[in-house]
């Protein structure tokens, strides 16, 4: 690895090759990653936008529409697309990046697909570190698109400044279920594919539910047709308005920082536990013929604590 100061300088200048190498470094915890993370200088003005929602809602199409608008405004954008993992090697399946192919060579757009690697929250285990690298560069916005695994996808609220929940008119019957999970994390709701039947009724019902929620920020519900870039300007206006709101209400910012610290501390405490090691140990225990999951976990943790 090159000198850390030189590496940081290249990241700050927006050198895409250095950014790509840095993300690989921190995602895989390679030698030098800790030194790099400690030397980073994140830009407090870089906004992290989380885009989440159920599969098929059009999240990738919405990101693509975002890119068109932001690039036209001469803004620089990084996109982290968290793809489903291969169940065999935990690599990203790279499905979402195909939809953004027209921006591959655009100097204002950096796109990186990362694998969820089994994370239940629809994110990558090292998403915080990846975002710190990108926030230390030249970008006005960093957009994080999650896998789309439904209600367990609430982790995005702990890392994004603004969380956009994308849904479709057909989800009308699922609104009450959403209310208990993914609905609680939205800063902005987008009803995509707004030209479909029942779209207006769904928007109306969603607004009624949103109105019942307490808080200083009244959550907007917007209707979009992302494939035609309809409603995207209004969405960007709400994103910017929410950014101004965050500057006024530091309590939300403190909550975000606490969530980030919580996740990083969890990672630190789990850093000596590897999936392959768990697989081997459980395989051995199961083959012995006397396997009880909770007893095994207790003995595994005792052994780990004894070594530390």
* CB contact at 8 A, 189 and 167: yes
> Collapsing DSSP states into helix, strand and coil, what is residue 163?
strand
Residue 106 pLDDT class (50, 70, 90 cuts): very high
- pLDDT given at position 177: 56
For residues 8 and 70, give the distance between their C-alpha atoms in angstroms, rounded to a whole number: 26
Per-residue pLDDT, averaged over 1-22, amounts to: 90
- Is residue 120's pLDDT more than 50? no
Same domain, 154 and 30: no
Q: 166 Cβ partners below 8 Å, 6+ apart?
A: 51, 52, 53, 57, 58, 59, 62, 190, 192
* CB contact at 8 A, 163 and 50: yes
Same domain, 8 and 64: no
Residue 92 pLDDT class (50, 70, 90 cuts): very low
Same domain, 79 and 139: yes
- Is residue 236's pLDDT more than 70? yes
- pLDDT given at position 85: 47
Per-residue pLDDT, averaged over 221-250, amounts to: 91
CATH number for the domain harbouring residue 141: 3.40.50.300
Same domain, 291 and 207: no
Same domain, 33 and 159: no
For residues 179 and 281, give the distance between their C-alpha atoms in angstroms, rounded to a whole number: 40
The predicted-structure confidence for 186-227, as pLDDT tens digits, reads as follows 899 999 999 988 899 889 888 888 877 656 788 999 999 999
- Is residue 117's pLDDT more than 80? no
Query: Structural domain tally of the chain?
Result: 3
Sign of CA dihedral 297, 299, 300, 302: positive
Same domain, 244 and 173: yes
Q: Tell me the average pLDDT of the chain.
A: 81
Same domain, 261 and 286: no
- pLDDT given at position 179: 53
The total number of residues shown for the chain amounts to 308
Same domain, 31 and 56: no
- pLDDT given at position 178: 59
Same domain, 257 and 287: no
- The CA-atom distances, in angstroms, between 209 and each of 141, 177, 205 are 29, 12, 6
- Is residue 18's pLDDT more than 90? yes
Domain containing residue 284: 274-307
- Is residue 6's pLDDT more than 60? yes
Same domain, 16 and 113: no
| Helix or strand (DSSP H, E) at 223 | strand 221-223
- The CA-atom distances, in angstroms, between 258 and each of 164, 230, 267, 292 are 20, 36, 14, 35
- pLDDT given at position 208: 84
Cα of 56 vs its chain's centroid, Å: 17
Q: Which residue has the higher pLDDT, 255 or 126?
A: 126
Same domain, 282 and 260: no
What is the share, in percent, of the chain residues with pLDDT greater than 90?
36
Residue 63 pLDDT class (50, 70, 90 cuts): very high
Task: Report the DSSP beta bridge partners of residue 79.
Answer: 111, 143
- The CA-atom distances, in angstroms, between 70 and each of 59, 92, 110, 210 are 16, 26, 13, 28
* Predicted model pTM: 0.81
DSSP letter, residue 193: S
Per-residue pLDDT, averaged over 96-107, amounts to: 74
Same domain, 59 and 22: no
257 C-beta neighbours (distance < 10 Å), count: 12
For residues 116 and 85, give the distance between their C-alpha atoms in angstroms, rounded to a whole number: 6
- pLDDT given at position 172: 57
For residues 166 and 30, give the distance between their C-alpha atoms in angstroms, rounded to a whole number: 35
Q: 164 Cβ partners below 8 Å, 6+ apart?
A: 49, 50, 51, 52, 62, 186, 187, 188, 189, 190, 235, 239
DSSP structure string for 60-73: HHHHHHHHHHHHHT
């Amino acid at each position: 690895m090159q000198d850390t100061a030189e590496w940081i300088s290249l990241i700050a200048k927006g050198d895409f090759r250095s950014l790509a190498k840095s993300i690989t470094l921190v995602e895989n915890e390679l030698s030098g990653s800790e030194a790099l993370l400690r030397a980073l200088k994140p830009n407090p003005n870089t906004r992290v936008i989380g885009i989440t929602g159920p599969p098929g809602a059009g999240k990738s199409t919405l990101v693509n529409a975002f890119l068109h608008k932001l690039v036209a405004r001469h803004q620089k954008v990084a996109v982290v697309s968290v793809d489903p993992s291969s169940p065999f090697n935990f690599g990203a399946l790279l499905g979402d990046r195909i939809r953004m192919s027209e921006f591959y060579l655009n100097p204002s757009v950096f796109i990186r697909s990362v694998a969820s690697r089994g994370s239940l929250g629809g994110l990558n285990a090292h998403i915080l570190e990846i975002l710190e690298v990108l926030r230390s560069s030249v970008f006005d916005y960093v957009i994080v698109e999650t896998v789309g695994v439904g209600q367990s996808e609430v982790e995005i609220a702990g890392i994004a400044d603004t969380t956009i929940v994308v849904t479709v008119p057909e989800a009308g019957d699922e609104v009450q279920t959403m209310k208990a999970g993914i609905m609680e994390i939205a800063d902005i709701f987008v009803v995509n594919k707004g030209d479909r039947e029942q779209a207006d009724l769904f928007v109306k019902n969603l607004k009624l539910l949103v109105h019942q929620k307490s808080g200083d920020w009244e959550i907007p519900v917007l209707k979009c047709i992302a494939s035609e870039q309809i409603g995207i300007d209004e969405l960007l206006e709400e994103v910017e308005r929410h950014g101004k709101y965050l500057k006024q209400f530091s309590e939300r910012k403190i909550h975000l920082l606490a969530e980030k610290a919580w996740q990083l501390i969890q990672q630190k405490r789990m850093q000596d536990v590897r999936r392959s090691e768990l697989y081997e140990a459980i395989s051995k225990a199961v083959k012995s013929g006397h396997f009880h999951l909770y007893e095994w976990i207790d003995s595994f943790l005792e052994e780990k604590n004894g070594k530390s």
